[in-house]
A and B are shown apart, each in its own frame.
Chain A
Amino acid sequence: AQSVTQLDSQVPVFEEAPVELRCNYSSSVSVYLFWYVQYPNQGLQLLLKYLSGSTLVKGINGFEAEFNKSQTSFHLRKPSVHISDTAEYFCAVSDSNFNKFYFGSGTKLNVKP
């Protein structure tokens, strides 16, 4: 079985500053990795995904993530955040064999003016 650890429950950052949200996973098999964003009172929206190929994945809203197999990490980054990026971000892992999703506990990003 897989598990996902998001190391920071809350990340405060000033507008236009860079941000990194950390995610580590554990799995004995090949996995697919995802980042989702959830705005208040809304469902989850896919930001980006890693299935195979290039380890640097670019997503929507200027976010990107890098898959590091040796460190079993998939950290999310944005070079310059905006107030509208304030939301909760979830890292998830899926095992293609079992078609189940395992989500991390979430990181609340709070962008301050």
Chain B
Amino acid sequence: KAGVTQTPRYLIKTRGQQVTLSCSPISGHRSVSWYQQTPGQGLQFLFEYFSETQRNKGNFPGRFSGRQFSNSRSEMNVSTLELGDSALYLCASSLDRAVYEQYFGPGTRLTVT
């Protein structure tokens, strides 16, 4: 069974631009969560989608948004990029509403210059 895939793996953007990251969960998984990982703040929960609905949200500004499609694939979008948005963005999928059985993708490394 294929694991969680994230595209692209690396991305360089300029301040003020916007970016879209993609996550394909493990086949059959309906819950997708997004995390931001930085050296200073560690791993922080962004949001979780289940059956195309955002079910939980972390403490991030509205510039961070996401969505989930009917095939459970998810995208997250960051608008008006800031230098502090440089991070590894991790996606995790789980089978159903219970997120404790999460499987993580390799992440997308975003660099904002």
Contact = CB atoms under 8 A, between A and B. Distances in A.
Nearest to A99: B99
Interface in B32-47: 33, 35, 42-45
A17 interface: no
A22 B82 CA distance: 35
Interface residues of B, number: 24
B84 to A, nearest CB: 18
A53 to B, nearest CB: 14
Interface string A6-49: 00000000000000000000000000101010000111111001
Task: Name B's interface SS.
Answer: strand
A73 interface: no
Interface string B23-55: 000000000010100000011110010000001
Contact of A99 (B4, B35, B98, B105): B98
Contacts of B90: 43-44
Interface in A91-107: 94, 96, 98-106
A90 interface: yes
